[in-house]
Every structure is written in C-alpha cells, then in structure tokens.
Amino acid sequence: MLEATNKPGTISSPHGLYHQNTSTLVKPPIPLARPYITDEERAAVAAVLDSDVLARGPRIDQFEERMAAYCQTKHAIAVSSGTAALHLLVRSARWQPGDEVITTPFSFVASTNVLLYEGVQPRFVDIDPKTYNVNTTHVPAACSERTRGILAVDVFGYPAHWPWLTGFAEDNHLTLVADACESLGATVNERPCGSWGIGAAFGFYPNKQITTGEGGCITTNSDDVAAFCRSLRNQGRTLSPAMEHTELGYNYRMSELSAALGNAQLKRLPELLERRTQVANWYNLALRSLQPDLILPCPDTPQTKRSWFAYVIQLHTSFAPDARDHLQAALQAEGIGCSPYFPCIHLQPYYRRRYGYKRGDFPVAEGIAQRTLALPFFPGLPERDVHRIADAVTRMLPSLARTNPKHSISC
Ligand SMILES: *Cc1c(COP(=O)(O)O)cnc(C)c1O
C-alpha cells in the first residue's frame, strides 16, 4: 500500500526506488498521514452516486444515530467541517461580542478562530507540560467578570481534565464547550470525549480517526443545543413552515457522499483505533531507549484513556532551540513526513497583529511548540516503516546541538 508512483528517472525494485543514473537506493517516502479506505467505503460512496439523493438524505440520519450512540449522547448533528461544528457550538453558548472565553494557545488554529467569528475575546491559559492540554491550575486566575465560558481541546487525542472543568464551569456559571476534533474514541472515567460540556465538536478531515473527506459533527445531550445547531446548519430555518428563517444561519450541511463514507468508517472504527494504538505501541517500544533526550507522548492513566490522533515526540530542553527544525529537515531529506505540531495560536501573525501577543506570553506552550515534532502516523503504517523512522531518529539525535547541560528529568 505504500507503493510510490515512479518518478521519471527512477525504477522500482523490491528494495525501493533506484535513481537510474546513480543507482543509489532511495527508499519510498512515508507520508505524515494517510486515510485508510477499503472497498467497503468505495462501494458505499458509489451507491450514493447511483442514487438520486446526493445532498440531504437517510445516510446522514444514520451517521448521526451512530455518532450519538458511540459518544453516548442524546443527539448528533452532522455538519460540513470540524470548524463549522465548533462555530455552531460557540453560537449555541450564546457568547456575545466582548465576552471572554478561556482556551488553549496550543491547538489547531480553528479552536480559537471560532471565538473571533463571534467577536468573543479568547483568554489563553498556559498548558500542562505533560498532557499539552490547558493547565487547570491557571484557570481560576484567568477569570474576570467578563468570563463567560471555557473552550477546551483534547490535544492529540489526550482528554482535557473534563471532570475538573465541568465542576469549575458549574460553580462559576460558565458555559463549557468541547473541541473533541482529535479525540474520537477517548474517554475520561469511562465517559466518552464528546459527551462533556454543552456539546462537543468532531472533525473528519482525512488525518482524523475517521474521515468523510471534509466533515464534522456536534454531539450533545441538550435538546436546545441540538435544535439550534440543526437550524443554523441549514440557514437558520424552522422545521415548519419550511422557508422561514428565524436565525442567522449558514450552509454547514454534510452531504450524503460524506455521510456514506463516514458510516463505513464508523463501522470500522474499532479496527481503525486498534491499528492506531498498535502503531503507537511500535513507536513507544522503538523509541523508548532514547528517553530522556526524547520525551514520548504522555501515557494513559486509570481514569484517562486517549485516542491516538498523532504521534508527537518532544526534544529535551537540553537541546538547542533550533534542534527540532534540524531534526525535521533531516527526516524530510530521507523522505519521512513530519510536521511541527502545533505552532502556538497566539504567535500566529494574525493574532500577533490583532492582539499584540508576543513570545514569552505563554512560555510552557511556546517551549513545547518549539521542541515537538509529529512523526508519520496512520492506521496503515507498517511496522517496518516505524522501525525505519525510529532508526533515523536514533541516528540523528546525537548530532543535534545542545545548549544546556544534559540532565535527566522525571516524567
Ligand atoms: C481538525 C481540527 C479542527 C477543525 O476541523 P476541520 O474539519 O478541519 O474544520 C478543530 N480543532 C482541532 C483541535 C482539530 O484538530
């Protein structure tokens, strides 16, 4: 399945690709992520094309029923992207321009952009250096009289501290919204991510646990949130009369094509999650001996069970600040896909320009953003490729520059 299409000037052999002119062995590239699509999915999408129902239809209802069942929520509302799902939750929270909402600077930019869509002021809180999620000990001090809610993210599929966040939100009359776009399949106290807060957002971009091409979903136990999101995704319509628009809505609908793909993927979700866990275990074993120079993803606890979204390694603080960039370039030069996950949201040019954020504002998040690297991670990644990647990291690590004296840390 990793058959690279031959580029001009190369020939295929059982051992990889050879440049015809030099005869040097060039191993096939390993992408950062790759969806895992079977004939079941192909047939499901083809069946939609053979029907007359390409947009709204029964496959969306079925997808919603399955998502709600999986997340143990009363409702699920399928939408066109994870960002759309988050935006509808921000609207459902009734946060107004000028309100402040506590969130994390270490996430995909969409989780804060949705606040800005509504004129809501993000109030970033620095992160926990182990879980990479919002450090809850900083939350009380970040609250002001304008604070109306918390938007927490399960970064890399590791659940945020939902029981604490739920209690704090209740005690302080704050509305809690969940960005579960990376955590389908994760649980806290055996309760699925997706069932916390007033509602949770999922995204189904091709690098997520399941994909619908583009797509998203809101899961919620609230009848009001569900009805509001259903209306807003469809231009703010009421159920009847059909052409009455009682709210300012959007076209955030999912298509039948996406839902058909999503249904087939959801059916295989246990297998997809198992394969991801297997790949993570291969990495953990292959990289274990590089600790503490290399910090591996935070392990589960008896209460907190992650869903593997990405495999992100972190360089120890004894390495030079640009060591991660050198490691990234060296891996890429060998055809190994990798990416810095995540650049801090507050340091993105738009956020700097608009709010005047600067380096040093959230030092833990910034340090981790500078030292982390996501390695290739997807359900079809073969064990031999994990070993090729781990061997490359093992070989490169000693050549990376250090600034601080080496010392061991406990994790
Ligand atoms: C993927 C993702 C989103 C957005 O999903 P899209 O479907 O790309 O809009 C939001 N938040 C986080 C944390 C994500 O990883």
Instruction: Answer whether residue 8 shows pLDDT above 90.
Output: no
**Around 155, how many Cα atoms within 13 Å sit in the side-chain half-sphere?**
31
Alpha carbons 79 and 319: distance in angstroms, whole number: 43
Ligand 1 contact, 83 CB (< 6 A): yes
User: How far, in Å, from the CA of 24 to the mean position of ligand 1?
Assistant: 40
Task: Provide mean pLDDT across the span 155-170.
Answer: 98
Residue 18: is its pLDDT beyond 70? no
The tokens describing 409, both together, are 């840390």
**Distance, CA of 123 to CA of 203 (rounded, Å):** 23
What integer pLDDT is reported at residue 238 of this predicted model?
85
User: Which ligand 1 atom is the nearest neighbour of the CA of 205?
Assistant: 7
Query: Among 182, 204, 341, which is best to mutate for testing ligand 1, by the most ligand atoms less than 8 A from CB?
Result: 182
Residue 406 Cα to ligand 1 middle (Å): 37
CB 205 within 8 A of CB 211: yes
Tens-place pLDDT, residues 240-261: 777 889 999 999 999 999 999 9
Q: Are 71 and 194 in contact (CB under 8 A)?
A: yes
pLDDT at residue 110, rounded to an integer: 98
Percent of the chain topping pLDDT 70: 92
Q: State residue 27's pLDDT score.
A: 87
Kindly report the pTM of this predicted structure.
Answer: 0.92
Which of helix, strand or coil describes residue 262? helix
Ligand 1 pocket check for 131: Cβ under 6 Å: no
8 Å CB contact between 346 and 355: yes
Average of per-residue pLDDT values in the chain: 93
- CA distances, 40 to each of 13, 85, 211, 264 (Å): 31, 27, 14, 7
Token code pair at residue 18: 């050879």
Of ligand 1's atoms, which has the minimum distance to the CA of residue 182? 15
For residue 25, what pLDDT is reported? Answer: 65
